[in-house]
């Protein structure tokens, strides 16, 4: 059975219209997308800037509210969940973004950023929390003496590792990676990608991997979906999609 099932998903944003009528119109950033992701699979979503990739990723976690359609994670109807249940479900799905400064708090230490989800969900405290945070940092290659430092002291690659450690803290099943390695230099990007692949093998992670970089996607994905103006216009095995005319 698929880990994630998306059916006829529509997510729209309001459009501000000029003039006195103020008609309320919407524009569909995601316009009827259906796809499945199987456990352990890496499904890449590619497409030009503005095609709706990010909105699709955020919709799956309900970081933006879809207008219609269905999303199921391991059979659970995500769009039907009330807030408290949605919060619980977030343990199973995490998003890693492109700009680590955008999602890291500049005023909190690396330790506290990794610890945050564990604290919020009441999973660990005290010595247990410290052990878990150190274990996660070690796993993603952040030296433990850097845990007391603030994000500005980290390089781009280290910040991305920090984001990954935080995303892994709750042992999620699905990671939605939105341009997660796009801002990194080629050699650092290769290292972070390698880390993500190792984690996939070790922890049985499943990825929805959003990227505009077909080179990266070709290297790591099992299947590729192509978005164009909010629609999924192609979906298939990586080699088939890459070799299509």
Judged by beta carbon, residue 50 or residue 80, the one nearer ligand ADP is 50
- 């500005």: which residue's tokens? 152
42-46 vs 25-37, strand pairing mode:
unpaired
**Smallest distance, Å, CB 176 to ligand ADP?**
12
Please report whether residue 52 would count as binding ligand ADP according to CB under 6 A: yes
Judged by beta carbon, residue 97 or residue 111, the one nearer ligand ADP is 97
Q: How many CA atoms lie within 13 A of 80 on its CB side?
A: 7
Question: What is the enclosing helix (H) or strand (E) of 210?
Answer: strand 206-210
Residues paired with 35 in a beta bridge: 6
Q: Contact with ligand ADP (CB under 6 A): which of 23, 49, 107, 126?
A: 49
Q: Contact with ligand ADP (CB under 6 A): which of 35, 41, 47, 195?
A: 47
Please report whether residue 233 would count as binding ligand ADP according to CB under 6 A: no
Phi/psi region, residue 69 (left: phi>0; alpha: psi -120 to 50; beta: rest), is left
Read off φ and ψ for residue 222, nearest 5 degrees. Answer: -85, -40
- 């039907």: which residue's tokens? 80
Q: Considering only residues 3 through 32, tell me which ones interact with ligand ADP, judged by CB under 6 A.
A: 13, 29
Token couple for 202: 């070790």
Judged by beta carbon, residue 133 or residue 210, the one nearer ligand ADP is 210
Please report whether residue 189 would count as binding ligand ADP according to CB under 6 A: no
Judged by beta carbon, residue 51 or residue 158, the one nearer ligand ADP is 51
Judged by beta carbon, residue 50 or residue 236, the one nearer ligand ADP is 50
User: Which segment (46-54, 68-76, 105-113, 154-162) binds ligand ADP by CB under 6 A?
Assistant: 46-54
* Torsion 95-13-8-35 (CA) sign: negative
> Which residues are near ligand ADP by CB under 6 A?
13, 29, 47, 49-55
């Amino acid at each position: 059975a698929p880990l994630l099932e998306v059916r006829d998903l529509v997510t729209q944003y309001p459009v501000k219209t000029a003039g006195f009528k103020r008609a309320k119109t919407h524009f569909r950033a995601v316009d009827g997308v259906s796809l499945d992701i199987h456990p352990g699979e890496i499904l890449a979503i590619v497409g030009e800037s503005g095609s709706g990739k990010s909105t699709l990723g955020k919709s799956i976690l309900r970081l933006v509210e879809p207008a219609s359609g269905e999303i199921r994670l391991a059979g659970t109807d995500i769009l039907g969940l009330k807030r408290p249940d949605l919060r619980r479900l977030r343990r199973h799905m995490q998003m890693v973004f492109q700009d680590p400064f955008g999602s890291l708090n500049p005023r909190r230490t690396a330790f506290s950023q990794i610890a945050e989800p564990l604290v919020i969900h009441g999973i660990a405290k005290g010595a247990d929390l410290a052990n878990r945070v150190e274990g996660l940092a070690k796993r993603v290659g952040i030296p433990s003496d850097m845990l007391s430092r603030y994000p500005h002291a980290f390089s781009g690659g280290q910040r991305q590792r920090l984001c990954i450690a935080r995303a892994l803290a709750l042992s999620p099943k699905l990671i939605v990676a939105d341009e997660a390695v796009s801002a990194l230099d080629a050699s650092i990007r290769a290292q972070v990608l390698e880390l993500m692949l190792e984690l996939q093998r070790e922890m049985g992670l499943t990825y929805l991997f959003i990227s505009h970089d077909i080179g990266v996607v070709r290297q790591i994905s099992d299947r590729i979906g192509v978005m164009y103006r909010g629609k999924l216009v192609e979906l298939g095995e990586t080699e088939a999609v890459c070799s299509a005319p």
